[in-house]
Amino acid sequence: MKNLKGHQVIFDALDWTHAGVGVRYKSVVHNRQRLRLVEFSEGFVEKEWCLHGHAGIVLDGSFALDFNTSVERYNKGDIIFIPSGESDKHKAILGKGEKVTLLLFELLDK
């Protein structure tokens, strides 16, 4: 893979994938594991609840996650761990002028 040097991930070798207004990402997938560099910016609106699990770190910026029963704020350096499933469904929320870059570790469905 052009984005791997041994076991080192080279995100600079990958192009950004634009997934919609205010969101883009770069990803590496091996077997059922995905490592994703994600950037959310103003204008991003998550219409559906996300039921997927994520673990990651906020590399830059800040944002909030709506967990349907509460809203949690995350800032640069914060670690995120979200189990998959209905009880941990979530949506990202960005305020005016906000931008956040995350490194996410995800296990893909079979």
Render pLDDT for 4-23 as a digit per residue (tens, 0 to 9). 567 788 888 889 999 999 99
Q: pLDDT value at position 80?
A: 97
- Beta-carbon contacts of 55 under 8 Å, excluding residues fewer than 6 positions away, are 79, 80, 81, 82, 104, 105, 106
For the cut 80, the answer to whether the pLDDT of residue 1 exceeds it is no
The answer to whether residue 2 scores a pLDDT higher than 70 is no
Q: Say what the pLDDT of residue 7 is.
A: 79
Q: Which residues of 88-97 are buried (b: 16+ CB within 10 A; e: fewer)?
A: bbbbbbbeee
CA–CA dist 79, 57 (Å, integer): 4
Q: State pTM to two decimals.
A: 0.88
Structural domains in the chain? Answer: 4-107 (2.60.120.10)
